[in-house]
Homo-oligomer: A and B are copies of this chain.
Amino acid sequence: MKNPSATSSGKPDNWVDIIEVGTRDGLQIEAKIIPAAKKIEIINAMIDSGLRQFEVTSFVSPKAVPQLADAVEVMAGVKRRADTCLMALVPNVKGAERAAATGLDAAVLFCSASETHNFKNLNRRIQDSIDGFAPIMETLQQAGIGAVGAVATAFGCPFEGEIETVNMLRIVRAYVALGIDHLTLGDTTGMATPNNVRSTVRMLQDQFPQLKISLHLHNTRGVGLANVVVGLEEGIRRFDSSVGGLGGCPFAAGATGNICTEDLVYLLAESGYETGVDLRKSIDVALMMEQALEKPLPGQVMRAGERLKLHPSSAVPTAAG
C-alpha cells in the first residue's frame, strides 16, 4: 500500500501537499458527462503539471452519481508516476471491492458531522456510517489499499447550522480506532471561517496529535483562500482543491465550487511554499477542463495569468489627461 503521506516524505520544510479533487468533487455536480477518455487526458495533464495526489473518482453507486460511473475505466487509464497517489471516495464494501481491482492507492472513507446531511448524502445515520467502516477497512486491507478518513460538513451544515463537536469527535475516534492517521475536514458548503478553521484544527490537533489533517475547503462565500492562510498558520500542510474552482455536492443545498487549484498554487507560491506544481501548466489544465465542460469556471488566476505576466503598455489607452 502507498501511504498518501509518503509522497511528501523527503520534501522541503516549506512543502504543501495539494490534493486535486476536480475529477471527483468537481465533476460530480456537473450535468454534462465528460467521457472517461477526456477525464484521463485531463488527469494525465494534471500529473504533468506537477500534481501528485488526486481524489480521482468515487466508487459510489453509478446510479447515484452517473458522472463517476466510469471510475474503474478512469483508474485504468491514468499514467501514474512513481510519486502519483490516486485516492477515491469509497462509501461501502461494494465500493471497496470495485476499487480493489483498480490499484487504488488510498480510499477516502467519509461521514458527515451532521445527521441530516449524512442522511441526505448516504441515506443512513452517523452511527450506521461508523459501524460500516470496519468491513470496508477489511476489504481495503486485503487489497493493500490505504485509507483516509473524511468528515463532511465539518464547519457547519446547511440544514442543521453549527455541527455538534460530539459528532465530529466520535467520527474521528472511529477513524483513529481503525488505524487511520489521515483526516480530511470537509467544508462541504463553504461554512468554514477563519475562526472555526482555527478552533476546529486546534481542538483536533490537541486531542489527536498523531493525525495528519487536510482541509477540504469550498469558496462558497469567497473566503476559501482566506481560510487557507489561517490553516497554514495553524500548521496545516495539506489542502484539497479543484481545477478551475469546479465543484459542489448534489446532496447539499447551496454548495458551490472547491477552492481553485491554480489560485491555491499561486497563493502558496507567493507565500513562500513549495507544491511542485507548475502554475502555467496548471492554468492550461483549467482551460482544458473549461473546454471539456463548455462553460466558464470560477478560477481567477486562469484568467489573470501569473503575477508578473507583463502587458505591453500599448495594450491599453492613455487617459485623456
Contact = CB atoms under 8 A, between A and B. Distances in A.
A174 B64 CA distance: 65
A123 B318 CA distance: 7
**Most B CB within 10 A of own CB, among A159, A300, A307:** A307
Contacts of A263: 221-223
A315 B253 contact: yes
A193 interface: yes
A190 interface: yes
A184 B116 CA distance: 47
Nearest to A232: B194
A304 B254 contact: yes
A64 B319 contact: yes
Interface residues on A, range: 35 or more
Nearest to A155: B307
Interface stretch (A12-20, A33-41, A136-144, A266-274): A266-274
A123 B223 CA distance: 37
A28 to B, nearest CB: 11
Contacts of A164: none
A208 interface: no
A250 B271 CA distance: 29
B253 A194 contact: no
Interface in A101-158: 116, 119-124, 156, 158
Contacts of A318: 119-120, 123, 251
Interface string A291-309: 0000000011101110111
Nearest to A158: B311
Interface string A160-191: 11100000000000000000000000000011
Contacts of A308: 156, 161-162
Contact of A304 (B221, B301, B307): B221
**Most B CB within 10 A of own CB, among A121, A196, A303, A313:** A313
Contacts of A301: 221-222
B221 A222 contact: no
Given A223-B263, A310-B160, A250 B316 contact: yes
12 contacts: A60-B319, A119-B313, A161-B308, A193-B267, A194-B267, A220-B304, A222-B266, A223-B225, A223-B263, A251-B316, A251-B319, A254-B311
